[in-house]
Structure 1
């Protein structure tokens, strides 16, 4: 049997075993798990179609919709004047042409993010009008030269503009904003939770059935915004290792989703090969939690060693096999830089 076949068979066995364990030992207060789209996993365009175009641009979101994504994911940071800007982090250096703007040279500074000193240009030191003079650039130009070819073409956009774009579509597309580094803003007397809640309330998108889901890596931030809005909320959990039943019980009481690093579901060994799948998907489902998984990318350097083809890190490997493996475990959604490939693997 091939290694791919063995992995898929192991995943199937893990799923069956997890289901049996769930029937025997499910928590008494467990709520039923109801996937959003029957048995089909949802495809979330990670930062837009970010494998093809510079991330968090209106053009990347539009391409993701054109390719069939169910959900688009804008990461959100705050500007100096309190606007919600679609950027992956407060620092602008890696994804904009800020270095080509000598008029802003004196804004470079060092700040603490999650306790770590970071030097660069920070969005919260610029007004939205100033940020509109910048243009987006590809984060990984040597890996994705086809995207880097569009450097300097696209302006930065606000979440309000993303919502305007979605409103004009002829089909329902969910936006899944992630509040980036809420504690960073708290320390500055700013509230990204209030900024997002204010916008959702203004646009009447603050309801449970709203096509807006909210995510964060900070649990307390999700509890805070849940006091203002009724949208579905999900906690992002990075790293590798087990998640306790006690933690899942707490999340089930307060959240709708756990959004996991792939290694939480299938760990990798020291050489990058996949180990046996864990039972976290089944245990989360027992408690009524959806499970979203990130991030799926086509390039060898991001794939498990099992699915790499050749030695070039930027070359595409057998990404379809990775999707197939995770879909077989019953995950509810995948974050992908290449949403068309996630859809093709799901629908084949």
Structure 2
């Protein structure tokens, strides 16, 4: 059995990206439950607030892509135009109104049999579900929320850091040992949340300097306050699938690497399929992987361990 090249030498963790979102509409309680049943190690909800300050598990500031809001006549007048697109902003809805909406599958090629069947979960419900599933399965099931559009929310008078702090502190889930990890593309907001709460922080990154010295300096700066980075997987390898050295560079300064997003049904080039892509990530020593199809990643990890 090969030794894993992760920072701690343990098998990489499979993060259920928006739940088992390859099978069920993203960010639903049944989707998170399915991910746990499939063996995912971590549940990942994106977070956005309602108009009255309740955090919901939603990826988009607009509701049209992943809910049935467009089919609700009562909400027709709430539609807004932005950049030529008609949508409904989550911060225009109170929690009681959001509770009436139902999730839909946003990817055309995926199963739509569950469209309109599942509610939009509040973050509190996700935390409660993770605790219950972890107890039933005899393990800790961390929750890994991403703060979405924090500055846009603040412009509407809603502070996601304050709302997150209230939720976690009330439940005793603040602190470095709590099974709640934080992520955000806005590193200033993420650092603010980490300093306020003490929970582990992972800096989402879409770009990094190509030059090794500049990239190293950037990673060293992040290592002063973050536990790890969460990079776009395309930063791991070049267009031919060759290692760019990011994982080794991050590990050298003590940063974990959580790469996103691995999907069975799209986006695995330059590899032949997602299993080959997962094997490549394992070989590099990636510490965790965001996956839409958790069962595929769990099976690939098991197969890799016995190579």
**Structure 1 length normalisation: TM-score?**
0.81
Counterpart Cα distance in 1 of 2:207 and 2:22:
23
Return the alpha-carbon distance in structure 2 between the equivalents of residues 188 and 98 of structure 1. Answer: 21
CA distance in 1, matches of 2:300, 2:209: 27
| Partners of 1:49 and 1:34 in 2: CA distance | 26
Give yes or no for the alignment of 1:304 onto 2:269: yes
3-state SS, counterpart of residue 292 of structure 1: strand
Instruction: Describe the SS at the equivalent of 1:341.
Output: helix
Count of residue pairs the alignment pairs up:
292
1:245-264 to 2 correspondences below 5 Å:
245-264=216-235
| Alignment match of 1:221 (pick from 189, 194, 207) | 189
Aligned equivalents of 2:176, 2:58: Cα separation in 1: 25
CA root-mean-square deviation: 1.6
Q: Distance in 2 between matches of 1:345 and 1:161?
A: 30
Which residues of structure 2 form unaligned runs of 5+?
A: none
CA distance in 1: counterparts of 2:268 and 2:102, whole angstroms: 30
Matched, 1:237 2:205: yes
Does 2:146 align with 1:178? yes
- 2:296 corresponds in structure 1 to 341
Which residue in the other structure is 1:199 paired with? 167
Partner of 1:254, secondary structure, is coil
The alignment status of 1:289 with 2:255, answered yes or no, reads yes
- Which of these residues, 7, 24, 35, is aligned with residue 53 of structure 1? 24
Equivalent in 88, 92, 106 of residue 125 of structure 1: 92
Whether contact under 8 Å (1:78, 1:90) holds in the other structure is: no
**Contact 1:79–1:85 (CA<8 Å) still a contact in 2?**
yes
Pick aligned residue for 1:134 from 80, 85, 101 = 101
Any stretches of 5+ residues in structure 1 without a counterpart? 1-14, 16-32, 269-273, 308-317
Tell me which of 153, 159, 165 is aligned to 2:123.
159
